[in-house]
């Protein structure tokens, strides 16, 4: 059972909050890149590659482009990373009790995760570069398209568990004989594809499509700012995987389950990444609102009907 | 004297920085007027067969993210300003690799009215990779030489031998 809790200072700086998230995020970035490389018949990066990238970017010169607001330019990466890391405090990271928990923290955690994407969008719009402007538009458009279906898909387990508190949903999913993935397959599908949209992984990587718009919203970022945004994305990867594993893969009771379930999800995501080609931004929006949202609502309706009967 | 005044802490930091720099050279690729032969070889170097990602090399779209400017072809007068602009957009520390005979000296285009010369006429070049076009192995070798140089090591024995040989030929 899941009885361990963490003292506040350690929670902020070491275990679910600070250092653990950094290292785990870098580790998962490596797993993701290595898996994609192996699936493409390549050797792939070495295990310390994300760390080397991060340190190198931190040591590089940071150029503030002319015409952008310097305060925002410096502040946004910090804000994005801080928001992504704060949302980890409400999640059962590594199978431990969440460091903080209150009624409705599911919504807070999701909004904190969205702050990272909004930070990206504002950062892109802050610079006068045309590529980053298009990237920012695409990032925010994609945010508005995947956010609603993803939230609806996560509401399914919450409604079944009768609580919007992540720790209670975690307890509930652990006690179920069947994983919610089996009892709510449509919701799981939407959540999984929503995860890929949230992380801007290949079928949904139009916001940073380097063959069209250089590097999207982050085109003008160099050095420290870019490093922090990359780190924020890695943290988001860990958090989003934990969220979906908690809700749909039978909860996280201990570190071993955390490792197996999130890594399993990551392997699945890596396969999907290599399988699909990039969607255009209008196709992404169409997919989400025409199919994703409808599927998620259908799943919720089925749940209501079953509850009534 | 400034070198000796550094504290051990700074030395360790510098070592970490160099380690990171050597292990994660992100490249940007610019064709300043080449016939596309070298560019095809560079793209071949990045394909799964040679897979430069195992050394941490990543092709970046934005000059702001890149460390190494991989440049092919002679610099035409048209593309000179663009090449310089890309170079100035890259954040420090930055390195330039000239690929192919034309990049070295202008190649078959040497002395043409619309050519500004090799890449070293315009930019400070760190590594020259000769060949028309150089094979992917040669490009990887050149890149490894650049990274060894960053690490502060001497060039490999083969390169030393080659350098001595060319120096001898020049004397004769």
Tell me which DSSP letter residue A41 carries: T
Section A32-37 average pLDDT: 90
pLDDT surpasses 60 at A175: yes
Query: Cβ separation of B53 and A43 shorter than 8 Å?
Result: yes
**pLDDT score, position A172:** 82
**Sign of CA pseudo-dihedral A54, A60, A63, A69:** positive
**pLDDT score, position B154:** 59
**pLDDT score, position A2:** 46
Within an 8 Å CB–CB cutoff, is residue B144 touching chain A?
Answer: no
CB nearest A49 (choices: B19, B24, B48): B24
Q: How far apart are CA A180 and CA A23, in angstroms?
A: 29
Spell out which residues of chain A touch residue B21, defining contact as CB-CB under 8 Å.
56, 59
Spell out which residues of chain B touch residue A43, defining contact as CB-CB under 8 Å.
51, 53-54
pLDDT surpasses 70 at A217: yes
Q: How far apart are CA A207 and CA A141, in angstroms?
A: 9
CA angle A165, A167, A169 (to 5 degrees): 70
What pLDDT digit, counting tens, does each position of B103-156 carry? 888 888 888 888 888 888 888 888 899 888 898 989 988 888 888 888 776 556
Size of interface A-B (CB pairs under 8 A): 86
Tell me which DSSP letter residue A61 carries: -
- Minimal-distance CA residue of chain B relative to A221: B64
Secondary structure of residue B95 in the 3-state scheme: strand
Q: Does the complex come out with an ipTM higher than 0.85?
A: no
B51: region left, alpha or beta (phi > 0 left; psi from -120 to 50 alpha): left
Which domain covers residue A261, as residue numbers? 10-308
**pLDDT score, position A221:** 86
Q: How far apart are CA A199 and CA A242, in angstroms?
A: 13
Two structure tokens written together for A89: 């405090």
pLDDT surpasses 50 at B1: no
Q: Which of A4-13, A198-207, A231-240 tops mean pLDDT? A: A231-240
Residue B40: C-alpha distances to residues A2, A184, B136 (Å): 56, 49, 10
**pLDDT score, position B3:** 56
What average pLDDT does the structure give for chain A?
A: 84
Length of chain B: 172
Contact criterion met (CB below 8 Å) for B65 and B105: no
Which run of H or of E encompasses B72?
A: strand B68-72
> Percent of chain A, pLDDT > 70?
95
Structural domain count of chain A? 1
Secondary structure of residue B29 in the 3-state scheme: strand
Residue A203: C-alpha distances to residues A154, B141, B169 (Å): 21, 35, 56
pLDDT surpasses 50 at A1: no
**pLDDT score, position B169:** 64
Task: Assign a CATH topology to domain B23-171.
Answer: Rossmann fold (3.40.50)
Section A22-44 average pLDDT: 89
pLDDT surpasses 80 at A229: yes
Secondary structure of residue B31 in the 3-state scheme: strand
CB nearest B64 (choices: A41, A53, A222): A222
What pLDDT digit, counting tens, does each position of A128-140 carry? 888 888 888 888 8
Q: How far apart are CA B125 and CA A64, in angstroms?
A: 26
Contact criterion met (CB below 8 Å) for B10 and B3: no
Contact criterion met (CB below 8 Å) for A253 and A174: yes
CA angle B170, B171, B172 (to 5 degrees): 90
**pLDDT score, position A145:** 86
**pLDDT score, position B158:** 65
Section B47-60 average pLDDT: 84
**pLDDT score, position A97:** 74
Contact criterion met (CB below 8 Å) for A88 and A239: yes
What pLDDT digit, counting tens, does each position of B64-84 carry? 888 899 999 899 988 888 999
What pLDDT digit, counting tens, does each position of A98-112 carry? 777 788 888 888 888
Q: How far apart are CA A145 and CA A147, in angstroms?
A: 6
Secondary structure of residue B135 in the 3-state scheme: coil
Please name the residues between 104 and 143 in chain B that touch chain A, using a CB distance below 8 Å.
Answer: none
Q: How far apart are CA A159 and CA B140, in angstroms?
A: 56
pLDDT band at A31 (very low <50, low <70, confident <90, very high): very high
pLDDT surpasses 70 at A171: yes
pLDDT band at A155 (very low <50, low <70, confident <90, very high): confident
pLDDT surpasses 80 at B32: yes
**pLDDT score, position B16:** 85
Contact criterion met (CB below 8 Å) for B73 and B103: yes
Contact criterion met (CB below 8 Å) for A15 and A93: yes
Spell out which residues of chain B touch residue A33, defining contact as CB-CB under 8 Å.
53
User: Quick check: is A5 in a domain?
Assistant: no
Section A173-196 average pLDDT: 82
What pLDDT digit, counting tens, does each position of A41-92 carry? 888 888 888 999 999 888 888 888 888 888 888 898 999 888 888 888 888 8
pLDDT surpasses 50 at A174: yes
Contact criterion met (CB below 8 Å) for A295 and A303: no
């Amino acid at each position: 059972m899941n009885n361990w809790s963490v003292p506040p200072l350690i929670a902020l700086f070491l275990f679910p909050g600070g250092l653990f998230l950094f290292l785990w995020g870098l580790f998962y970035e490596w797993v993701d890149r290595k898996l994609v490389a192996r699936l493409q018949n390549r050797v792939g990066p070495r295990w310390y590659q994300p760390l080397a990238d991060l340190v190198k970017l931190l040591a590089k010169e940071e150029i503030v482009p002319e015409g952008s607001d310097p305060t925002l330019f410096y502040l946004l990466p910090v804000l994005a990373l801080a928001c992504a890391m704060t949302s980890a405090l409400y999640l059962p990271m590594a199978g431990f009790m969440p460091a903080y928990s209150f009624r409705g923290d599911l919504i807070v955690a999701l909004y904190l995760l969205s702050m990272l994407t909004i930070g990206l969008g504002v950062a892109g719009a802050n610079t006068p570069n045309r590529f980053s402007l298009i990237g920012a538009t695409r990032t925010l458009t994609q945010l508005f398209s995947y956010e609603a279906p993803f939230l609806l898909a996560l509401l399914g387990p919450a409604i079944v568990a009768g609580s919007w508190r992540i720790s209670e949903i975690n307890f509930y999913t652990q006690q179920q004989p069947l994983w919610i993935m089996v009892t709510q397959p449509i919701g799981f599908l939407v959540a999984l594809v929503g995860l890929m949209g949230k992380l801007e992984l290949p079928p949904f990587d139009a916001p940073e499509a380097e063959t069209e718009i250089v590097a999207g919203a982050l085109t003008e970022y160099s050095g420290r700012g870019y490093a922090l945004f990359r780190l924020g994305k890695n943290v988001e990867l860990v958090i989003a995987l934990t969220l979906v594993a908690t809700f749909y893969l039978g909860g996280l009771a201990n570190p071993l389950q955390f490792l197996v379930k999130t890594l399993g999800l990551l392997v699945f995501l890596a396969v999907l990444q290599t399988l699909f080609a990039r969607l255009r931004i209008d196709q992404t929006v169409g997919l989400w609102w025409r199919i994703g949202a409808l599927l998620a609502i259908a799943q919720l309706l089925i749940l209501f009907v079953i509850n009534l009967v | 004297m400034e070198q000796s005044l550094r504290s051990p802490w700074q030395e360790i930091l510098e070592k970490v920085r160099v380690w990171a720099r050597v292990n994660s050279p992100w490249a940007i690729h610019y064709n300043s007027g080449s016939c596309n032969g070298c560019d095809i070889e560079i793209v071949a170097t990045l394909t799964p067969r040679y897979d430069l990602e195992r050394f941490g090399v990543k092709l970046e779209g934005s000059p702001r993210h890149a460390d190494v400017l991989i440049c092919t072809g002679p610099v035409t007068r048209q593309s000179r300003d663009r090449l310089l602009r890309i170079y100035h957009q890259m954040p420090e520390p930055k390195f330039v690799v000239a690929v192919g005979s034309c990049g070295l000296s202008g190649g078959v285009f040497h002395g043409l009215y619309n050519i500004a010369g090799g890449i070293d006429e315009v930019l400070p070049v760190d590594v020259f990779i000769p060949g028309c076009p150089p094979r992917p192995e040669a490009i990887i070798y050149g890149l490894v030489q650049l990274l060894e140089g960053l690490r502060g090591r001497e060039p490999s024995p083969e390169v030393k031998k080659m350098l001595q040989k060319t120096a001898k030929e020049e004397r004769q």
